[in-house]
Each structure stands twice: as structure tokens, then as C-alpha cells.
Amino acid sequence: MRKATLSRFFLFLISLSFIYSCQDEEVGETPNCETNRYKQAFFTEFEKTPDVEYGKALNGNGILQSLYMDIFQPKNDPNSEPRPLLLWVHGGHFISGSKADLEGLASVTALRGFVSASINYRLYNILSGIPDTADVYDIVVKSTQDISNAVTYFLKDARGPNLYNIDTTKIFLGGVSAGAIAVIHTTYLDPNDVLTPLTKTAIDANGGFEAFPNIRNYIRGVINLSGAIIDPAIMESGDPAIYSYHGNKDNTVPIGKGFVGSEELKLVEMYGSKAIHDRAKQVGVSSIFVEVDGGGHSDIYLENRFLEARTAFDVVLYDGLKQQICQ
């Protein structure tokens, strides 16, 4: 999805958050779950901590790369309760994009009362040539390692200086397009899965599961915006909830089974949000799915004809997140 169009979409989300704020909340030591916090804009300002280094990792060229994220939190939060964390991952076909692309979305999340972050992660260097299927599997695996390390940064902070006051039992991951693919595999891929040969090869080439920080028990839910999964069978009973939004005419990341990125190249066949939702229901994983009739890959976030679908997803998403947070 193009950076300019993403920015317009997230400006829409900011305005939507304030539309839902129909009354002023008295901000104080009232328990968070007894207010409209999390469901709608609850604060008027946020604080941004830019360029926080959360780790280092070897990129595809064998060069050690520093990995950064921007962290957002409500400004002047008077409540001392630990806050849920929502970590956002940008799209860009695993070859482009940056944490700046989702700054609008991360700031919206902070205004609702979350601690949020938008991360950079390792990308495929297109100067190395057009990626083949193995390259795509490899960069997906690398992205899951990076997301896991970003979450680990917050877990270590909570056990140490506690700069961000997060509740480590209430961590959520969200992503757009390639970012959604990354967070889905971060959440649902585990050592007990029966892996496809290409998946196993990519994991082994990146140090095996032993090289992945074990964050699986900390993730409560996934926000999937036009994403996909390599194999729905890796979703199992007891896995975290998923909230999906996807156009049923998406030719970039098909809503069902299809080749991701380009039908002509046929690099990687994946299963989109409809297949993910069907699998979740089959194994008893909580799943909310808004299928956008006639929607493509980018237009469902931008065009007025899809406003009703966007609004519906916004409502069910943050209602669902609050229910999980306040259980």
C-alpha cells in the first residue's frame, strides 16, 4: 500500500476516534475498564518516543542491522494501572516501507489509552534481484524474529525500569498487508506445527526456533488488515484471537487461497483472511472478520464507498479488544 494513501487512511481513523467520543470523560483514577478507554479516543494528546533501538540482527546481506521502533503513549495519563500494548507492523511487500507509515495508526491507538509502537523490521534488498520463493519464506521468518524481539524489549522493560508501564498479559499485534502476514506468523507459528519443507528450511537457516524469543504466551490477539497465512493448519485450539478486515476483490493478497504479490510471478501461495477465519472457527479460535464486498487491496482503506465497512470494523475491533483487556 502506498505511503500517501496510508497516511490518508490513518487521518481518517484519527477523525473516527473523535467522532465516537460523544461525551467528555472525567480522566482520573477511575478503573480503566469502567470508562470508555480503549473503545474510543480517551485522551487528547500523546507522547512519542522516536527511534528506540529494540535489537540488532543480520540482514540478508550478512550485515548487522540496528532495528528501531517509535513508541506512543497517552500524554498525562493519571491512571497508574499497567496498560495494554499494541504493536503495529507496516506493509510494503517485504521490500519497502518503514515505521513512519503507521505513525497515524499508532497515535490513534495511544489516544485510546494503549501503549503502542510502530516498528521497522528487516526487508528484502531488491538490489539483490527479484526474490524467489525461498527468499520470500526467509524474509517472512526474519520479520517474525524481529517482531518477537520488539515484544521482548517491552517485556524486559516491564521487569526492569518500567518506562512504559505495560501489562504483559495484554499484548496485541497488528499489521497491514505484509505486516499482517508477519504478525500472523509471529503469533501462530510454533515448534509443534507440522511445517512445509520451505518453512522448515527458512526457520533452520535463521537459527531454528531456538533463535526466536518465546513470546507466544504473551500475545492476546492479532489485528489482520489484508494479510494471509502460509498454512491455516498452524492455527490451533487455544491460540490467540484474530480480527480481520479484507476486500474480496483483493488481487495483491487474495482473500482466499492464491498467490501473494503477483499472480504472474507465482512465488508464494498463501491463504487470506476468509480462509483464516474459516480455520479459526473450525478449531475454536475467536475470530472477527469483516469481508468488504467489492474491495481491493488499498481502496477499502481510502474510498468513501467503503466507509461503512471501515466504521463497522473499527467498532467490532475495539469492542473486542476491550472485552479481552477487561476479562
Question: Residue 28: inside a domain, yes or no?
Answer: no
Task: Quote the cell numbers at residue 204.
Answer: 533452520
Question: Is the CB of residue 266 less than 8 Å from the CB of residue 259?
Answer: yes
Residues 6 or more apart whose Cβ sits within 8 Å of residue 180: 89, 91, 174, 223, 224, 225, 226, 227, 228, 253
CA distance 246 to 300: 8
Q: Evaluate whether residue 26 is within a structural domain.
A: no
For residue 290, give the DSSP letter: E
How many CB atoms within 10 Å of residue 7? 15
Of 283, 212, 224, residue with least CA distance to 253 = 224
Q: Would you call 315 helix, strand, or coil by DSSP?
A: helix
* Residue 16 host element (H or E): helix 3-20
Q: Is residue 33 part of a domain?
A: no
Q: Are 39 and 319 in contact (CB under 8 A)?
A: yes
Cell of 25: 470523560
Asked whether residue 32 is domain-assigned, the answer is no
Q: Which domain holds residue 282?
A: 3-20+38-325
In a domain, 90, yes or no: yes
For the whole model, what pTM was predicted? 0.91
Matching residue, cell 482520573: 28
Residue 31 lies in a domain: no
Nearest to 149 by CA among 85, 87, 212, 191: 212
Q: Are 141 and 69 in contact (CB under 8 A)?
A: no
Residue 46 in domain:
yes
Count of structural domains, the chain: 1
Give, for all 327 residues of the chain, the pLDDT tens digit.
Answer: 444 455 555 555 544 544 444 444 444 568 899 999 999 999 999 999 999 999 999 998 899 999 999 999 999 999 999 999 999 999 999 999 999 999 999 999 999 999 999 999 999 999 999 999 999 999 999 999 999 999 999 999 999 999 999 999 999 999 999 999 999 999 999 999 999 999 999 999 999 999 999 899 999 999 999 999 999 999 999 999 999 999 999 999 999 999 998 766 778 999 999 999 999 999 999 999 999 999 999 999 999 999 999 999 999 999 999 999 998
Q: Is residue 27 part of a domain?
A: no
Q: What is the CATH number of the domain that holds 215?
A: 3.40.50.1820
